[in-house]
A and B are shown apart, each in its own frame.
Chain A
Amino acid sequence: MNERIKPIVMPKWGLSMSEGKVTGWLKSAGAKIAVGDEIVEVETDKIAGVVEAGDAGTLRRVLGEPDTIYPVKALIGIIAADDVPDGEIDAYVAEYASHAADESEEEEAAPRYEFVDTPAGRLRYAKRGDGEQVIILIHGFGGDLDNWLFNIDALAEACTVYALDLPGHGQSDKAVREASLKGLSDAVTGFMDALGISLAHLVGHSMGGAIAAQTALDHPDRVSSITLIGSAGLGAEINSGYTDGFVAATSRRDLKPVLEQLFHDPATVTRQLVDDLLKYKRLDGVDEALRALSSALFPGGRQSVVLAEALMAASTPALVIWGESDRVIPAAHAAALGDRARAEVISGAGHMVQMEKAGRVNDLVIAHIKA
């Protein structure tokens, strides 16, 4: 393939995504594109999102039609320098289809999810990449490994990435044997033991950040670094309207406004996203697990465990990332570690900053790990 021509393809956001709908282009054909520019809006059956440019150049072709569904990796646009002849671009487009088909066959051979038995129960996880360094992605309260759907493949280009469902979450066992930060941290180290991971970079979102921090404090020899994203454990404040509302919601009507608090752009919350969460919340055991964790970690609308002081005294390298308009845990907590950690507050993002500004978050995590 011509290396001067950069394809824009239907992204694969999450292990279960097989197709997506182009809902609208944010740049017109002929526009100058910089790395990180938001180019096209895509909607999947899980979530709506924006494709960011990975390369600079001119948007030479807009191939994806609005309101049309394309399979993952289908060519929807072309970025190239102005001096690349049109004929070369046309040839590239013609050749692309057969090239993509070969890659898709290879991918289908890989398992989407795996399961491992640990002292905390049977846990589901996904593994991507084969780099020397290991990243473990830890989701937040009520989430699952698909919360990393915009991150897992990008991070896997640099490292071996594991994303797990915590006990009581996703498709892992629903019984939470010890509903505490310590109990969940033990579940993570149990997961590492079961898979033979001696050392890992822990990347945690929300409650998952506090779990990563607790693990680094308890087992500094097993944690290379921590990345705390919109993290719990850095201050006492938390939006109890969100946590209580999430636990209590039993219908789509109740849950949708609660979930909208997670995002800078509430339109990100699709019907399918709400339905998927309802399906999870209705599984036997989930309600009990969420109530137990909520009362242990966020009693009376406050975080019961604040680890900032202990982290200030610890030596594990730390990176803090926050969405500026986080409505669940205030972005002011990003400064809790002072000079001890780099803190990035990203505008245009809420609590799910790793989804809403995935490109920026992925770059920060990779730079942090490589440092």
Chain B
Amino acid sequence: MARKISVKQAINEALDLEMRRDPTVIVLGEDIVGGAGAPGEIDAWGGVLGVTKGLHAKHGNRLIDTPLSESAYIGAAIGAAACGMRPVAELMFLDFMGVCFDQILNQAAKFKYMFGGKAKTPVVIRAMVGAGFRAAAQHSQMLTPMFTHVPGLKVVCPSNAYDAKGLLIQAIRDDDPVIFCEHKNLYGLEWDVPAESYAIPFGEANVMREGEDVTIVSYGLTVHRALEAADTLAKGGVQAEVIDLRTLSPIDWDTVIESVENTGRLVVVDEANPRCSIAGDIAAHVAQNAFGALKAAPQMVTAPHTPVPFSPVLEDLYIPSSDAIVAAVNKTTARALAA
């Protein structure tokens, strides 16, 4: 039965349902229980923003509070996965991946390949991404391109609660390591979500809005900026098709190419920094595979190539805005008219 719940509730519900369904699913991370063991403090936090709140009461010691030692517990999660468990490790902020990147890059991502398919690593690493939370340069980065670059990893970044629940359930059931990126500014966004379990397959983009004049490709928070931009553009008679990638690895090239072949124009929106980004990847792929369909040069709307600013004013300017997306679309149509 569908009802409206937030992205945060959807993630909590996905974890709860999968822990009920499969006894090998465990959850570990810093403060995911919060003060466990101290009188009156059990289940006080549920993680830094309360996403796992309530799960300890339901599943007890299958939720494990870890020390502040990412390299140790991410490694432990990967090892447990290789030994038959299905761990979900919470890395808090994806920015903290630096200290445990070897475990992810050189171990988890490569086990299946290096052991000829005889080993599998069904681990999910959940982490918050993105700016706009006044958390400054070390807690606000959109590091999705760094993981998408690594073969062997699957990378997911939902834009709404329905997708968050279905993609996380798929991630937990998947036999490969999955980096599950949760934009912290989406946690409160409510959406229609069935109470039942369901899994959304990876590699299937979602066409959020159909249009024939321009294709706007995005993921995560900026999908909503793209939809705002599409509303603005529609008032001026430009119909934008808005594609939410949902998963960055695997990525649904077919939907992107099919759309561009229909519209002839491409704008990619990515909150990551512009160099070697998802935006650059998509623009290059489309230029290589659908050049003949393009009526104008693909445009990228990204964050600037700087760390996330501490100043609230600058931070708001940092995230791609709907106005910037409209301007990029106008650039593609103006160039087409000039031609």
Interface size class of A (residues with CB under 8 A): 10 to 19
What is the interface size of chain B, counting residues whose CB is below 8 A from a CB of the partner?
A: 15
Chain B residues, CB < 8 A from A253: 254-255
User: In the docked arrangement, what's the CA distance between A124 and B194, Å?
Assistant: 14
Whether A283 contacts B201 by the Cβ 8 Å rule is no
Nearest-neighbor residue (CB-CB) of A67 within chain B: B234
Question: Does B1 make an interface contact (CB < 8 A)?
Answer: yes
Chain A residues, CB < 8 A from B162: 279
Given A171-B1, A253-B254, A271-B207, answer yes or no on A284-B198 (Cβ-Cβ < 8 Å).
Answer: yes
Question: Does A68 make an interface contact (CB < 8 A)?
Answer: no
Question: Does B210 make an interface contact (CB < 8 A)?
Answer: yes
Question: Does B135 make an interface contact (CB < 8 A)?
Answer: no
Question: Does A252 make an interface contact (CB < 8 A)?
Answer: yes
Q: Which of A171, A252, A284 has the most chain B CB atoms closer than 10 A to its own CB?
A: A284
Chain B residues, CB < 8 A from A284: 196-199
Chain B residues, CB < 8 A from A252: 204, 207
Chain B residues, CB < 8 A from A174: 196
Given A171-B1, A252-B204, answer yes or no on A283-B210 (Cβ-Cβ < 8 Å).
Answer: no
Whether A283 contacts B204 by the Cβ 8 Å rule is no
User: In the docked arrangement, what's the CA distance between A271 and B259, Å?
Assistant: 14
Whether A250 contacts B201 by the Cβ 8 Å rule is yes
Given A171-B1, A271-B210, answer yes or no on A279-B198 (Cβ-Cβ < 8 Å).
Answer: yes
Of residues 296 through 342 on chain A, the ones whose CB sits less than 8 Å from some CB of chain B are: none
Question: Does B44 make an interface contact (CB < 8 A)?
Answer: no
Q: Which of B199, B204, B210 contacts A251 (CB 8 A)?
A: B204
Chain A residues, CB < 8 A from B255: 253
Chain B residues, CB < 8 A from A4: none
Question: Does B324 make an interface contact (CB < 8 A)?
Answer: no
Nearest-neighbor residue (CB-CB) of A271 within chain B: B210
Question: Does B290 make an interface contact (CB < 8 A)?
Answer: no
Of residues 271 through 294 on chain A, the ones whose CB sits less than 8 Å from some CB of chain B are: 271, 279, 282-285
User: In the docked arrangement, what's the CA distance between A283 and B255, Å?
Assistant: 23
Whether A283 contacts B196 by the Cβ 8 Å rule is yes
Chain B residues, CB < 8 A from A283: 194, 196-198
Task: Please encode chain A, from 234 to 251, with 1 for each CB lying within 8 Å of some chain B CB and 0 for all others.
Answer: 000000000000000011
Chain B residues, CB < 8 A from A250: 201
Chain B residues, CB < 8 A from A279: 162, 194, 198
Chain A residues, CB < 8 A from B207: 252, 271
Chain A residues, CB < 8 A from B200: 282
Nearest-neighbor residue (CB-CB) of B205 within chain A: A252
Chain A residues, CB < 8 A from B197: 283-284
Question: Does B47 make an interface contact (CB < 8 A)?
Answer: no
Question: Does B220 make an interface contact (CB < 8 A)?
Answer: no
Nearest-neighbor residue (CB-CB) of A282 within chain B: B198
**Nearest chain A CB to B15 CB, angstrom units:** 15
User: In the docked arrangement, what's the CA distance between A71 and B189, Å?
Assistant: 25
**Nearest chain B CB to A282 CB, angstrom units:** 4
Chain A residues, CB < 8 A from B122: none
Task: Please encode chain A, from 164 to 203, with 1 for each CB lying within 8 Å of some chain B CB and 0 for all others.
Answer: 0000000100100000000000000000000000000000
Chain A residues, CB < 8 A from B204: 251-252
User: In the docked arrangement, what's the CA distance between A252 and B207, Å?
Assistant: 10
Q: Which of A124, A171, A251 contacts B201 (CB 8 A)?
A: A251
User: In the docked arrangement, what's the CA distance between A271 and B208, Å?
Assistant: 9
Question: Does B166 make an interface contact (CB < 8 A)?
Answer: yes
User: In the docked arrangement, what's the CA distance between A368 and B298, Å?
Assistant: 61
Chain A residues, CB < 8 A from B254: 253
User: In the docked arrangement, what's the CA distance between A282 and B199, Å?
Assistant: 6
Chain B residues, CB < 8 A from A271: 207, 210
User: In the docked arrangement, what's the CA distance between A250 and B199, Å?
Assistant: 11
**Nearest chain B CB to A117 CB, angstrom units:** 15
Chain B residues, CB < 8 A from A124: 1
**Nearest chain A CB to B156 CB, angstrom units:** 16
Nearest-neighbor residue (CB-CB) of A275 within chain B: B206
**Nearest chain B CB to A348 CB, angstrom units:** 26
**Nearest chain A CB to B192 CB, angstrom units:** 9
**Nearest chain A CB to B170 CB, angstrom units:** 9
**Nearest chain B CB to A47 CB, angstrom units:** 15
User: In the docked arrangement, what's the CA distance between A124 and B195, Å?
Assistant: 14
Nearest-neighbor residue (CB-CB) of A286 within chain B: B198
**Nearest chain B CB to A232 CB, angstrom units:** 27
Given A250-B201, A251-B201, answer yes or no on A282-B210 (Cβ-Cβ < 8 Å).
Answer: no
For this complex, 24 residue pairs linking A to B, each with C-beta atoms less than 8 Å apart, are: A124-B1, A171-B1, A174-B196, A250-B201, A251-B201, A251-B204, A252-B204, A252-B207, A253-B254, A253-B255, A271-B207, A271-B210, A279-B194, A279-B198, A282-B198, A282-B199, A282-B200, A283-B194, A283-B196, A283-B197, A284-B197, A284-B198, A284-B199, A285-B196
**Nearest 4 pairs of A and B residues by beta carbon:** A284-B197, A282-B198, A283-B198, A283-B196
* Given A279-B162, A283-B196, A285-B196, 10 other A-B residues pairs in contact with their CB atoms under 8 A: A124-B1, A251-B204, A252-B204, A282-B166, A282-B198, A282-B199, A283-B197, A283-B198, A284-B197, A284-B199
